[in-house]
């Protein structure tokens, strides 16, 4: 049944004269009659008794009205709400660790401050899990830190990021190193599925087999705490994620010879995703704000 059929049903319940109702709503009598017959057919029984030129609610029609009218009013309220405010609804967004911890919170805070009728559910996952959730429709969009080659996933670059090697050993910041000169140190790296880990190990290639991976973590704060307390440890991390620690002199960048780690922050969503007004507006807003925050 349609909202239009229900609207005509309730209107006839108040004014049983089809001809009068037709004039009130600028609709033909035949169109009203067809709509009511369609509703009755869907319910498999008549809702009105035909008395002369009037359609009078029968006992089933009165029961149908009693049971459905409150819900009809709620649906109309929802319809009017969405017509008046297109930027309403619930958006599910997932971000990989670096983005979710250091970039996305401010973007979402600012967006819902401007659009209070929008709700954004934020979660943090590693990049591979985000791609899986995009594919199965669990989330509306994701922000990841590594390349995605899934043909059903649309990928848009939103910012560039640089990974650097850092340590709390200040002496390491005084000169440049070949990466293999640092392999005897204890390396702290992200867990399997992490975009940071993927970029770092792929760039090392065969040399990655010689890396002394001492511990693996899912949380940046754990890694940074261990780095600060243990000068013999190193990690490869987004420069953006340790910006404050570098400025405060708590951690130091270890410069490498002939080796850089760069990656793209990407927005991903399913190629068949329906792009509502909320989806399109948030996507555009996030892409603009990403570079502002990363470059600040």
Among 84, 115, 143, identify where a domain stops: 84
In three-state secondary structure terms, 188 is strand
Question: Does 169 share its domain with 47?
Answer: no
- Rounded to whole angstroms, the Cα distance separating 99 from 105 reads 9
The pLDDT value given to residue 187 = 96
Displacement of CA 171 from its chain's centroid (Å): 43
Q: What is the DSSP letter of 25?
A: H
Rg (the chain; Cα; Å): 30
- Rounded to whole angstroms, the Cα distance separating 226 from 189 reads 11
Question: Does 129 share its domain with 187?
Answer: no
Question: Does 111 share its domain with 241?
Answer: no
Question: Does 8 share its domain with 72?
Answer: yes
- Rounded to whole angstroms, the Cα distance separating 231 from 274 reads 50
Which among 247, 269, 280, 290 has a CA at the least distance from the CA of 98? Answer: 290
Which among 270, 282, 290, 284 has a CA at the least distance from the CA of 158? Answer: 290
pTM of the model: 0.67
Indicate which CATH number applies to the domain containing 71: 1.10.10.10
Question: Does 150 share its domain with 289?
Answer: yes
Question: Does 130 share its domain with 219?
Answer: no
Per-residue pLDDT of the chain (296 residues; tens, 9 = 90+): 788 888 888 888 888 888 888 888 888 888 888 988 998 899 898 988 888 878 888 999 888 888 888 888 888 777 766 666 667 788 999 999 889 999 999 999 999 999 988 899 999 998 889 999 999 999 999 999 877 789 999 999 998 889 999 999 999 999 999 999 999 999 999 888 888 888 899 999 999 999 999 999 888 889 999 999 999 999 999 998 898 999 999 999 999 999 999 888 999 999 999 888 889 999 999 999 988 887 76
Length of the chain: 296
Question: Does 177 share its domain with 153?
Answer: no
The pLDDT value given to residue 67 = 87
Domain carrying residue 32: 3-84
Which among 64, 71, 49, 129 has a CA at the least distance from the CA of 95? Answer: 129
Indicate which CATH number applies to the domain containing 104: 3.40.190.10
Question: Does 249 share its domain with 175?
Answer: yes
Question: Does 272 share its domain with 251?
Answer: no
- Rounded to whole angstroms, the Cα distance separating 126 from 95 reads 8
Question: Does 100 share its domain with 181?
Answer: no
Token duo for residue 195: 């975009």
The pLDDT value given to residue 68 = 87
In the chain, the number of structural domains is: 3
Question: Does 165 share its domain with 254?
Answer: yes
**Consecutive H or E run containing 252:** strand 252-254
Question: Does 137 share its domain with 180?
Answer: no
- Rounded to whole angstroms, the Cα distance separating 75 from 70 reads 9
């Amino acid at each position: 049944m349609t909202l239009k059929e229900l609207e005509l049903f309730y209107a006839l319940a108040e004014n049983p004269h089809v001809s009068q109702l037709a004039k009130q709503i600028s609709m033909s009598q035949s169109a009203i009659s067809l709509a009511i017959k369609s509703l009755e057919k869907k319910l498999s029984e008549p809702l009105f008794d035909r008395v002369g030129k009037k359609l009078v609610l029968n006992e089933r029609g009165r029961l149908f009205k009693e049971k459905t009218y409150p819900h009809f009013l709620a649906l109309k309220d929802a319809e009017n709400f969405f017509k008046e405010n297109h930027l309403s609804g619930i958006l599910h967004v997932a971000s990989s660790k670096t983005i979710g911890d250091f970039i996305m919170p401010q973007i979402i805070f600012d967006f819902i401050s401007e659009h209070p009728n929008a709700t954004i559910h934020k979660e943090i996952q590693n990049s591979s899990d985000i791609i899986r959730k995009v594919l199965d429709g669990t989330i509306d969009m994701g922000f990841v830190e590594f390349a995605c080659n899934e043909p059903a996933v649309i990928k848009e670059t939103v910012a560039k990021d640089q990974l650097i090697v850092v340590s709390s050993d200040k002496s390491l910041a005084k000169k440049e190193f070949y990466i293999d000169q640092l392999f005897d140190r204890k390396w702290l790296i992200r867990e399997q599925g992490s975009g940071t880990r993927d970029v770092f190990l792929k760039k090392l290639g065969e040399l990655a087999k010689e890396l002394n991976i001492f511990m693996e973590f899912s949380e940046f704060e754990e890694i940074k705490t261990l780095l600060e307390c243990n000068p013999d440890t190193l990690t490869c991390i987004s420069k953006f994620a340790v910006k404050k620690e570098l400025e405060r002199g708590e951690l130091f960048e270890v410069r490498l010879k002939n080796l850089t780690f760069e990656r793209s922050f990407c927005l991903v969503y399913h190629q068949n995703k329906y792009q509502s007004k909320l989806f399109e507006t948030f996507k555009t807003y996030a892409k603009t704000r990403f570079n502002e925050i990363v470059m600040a």
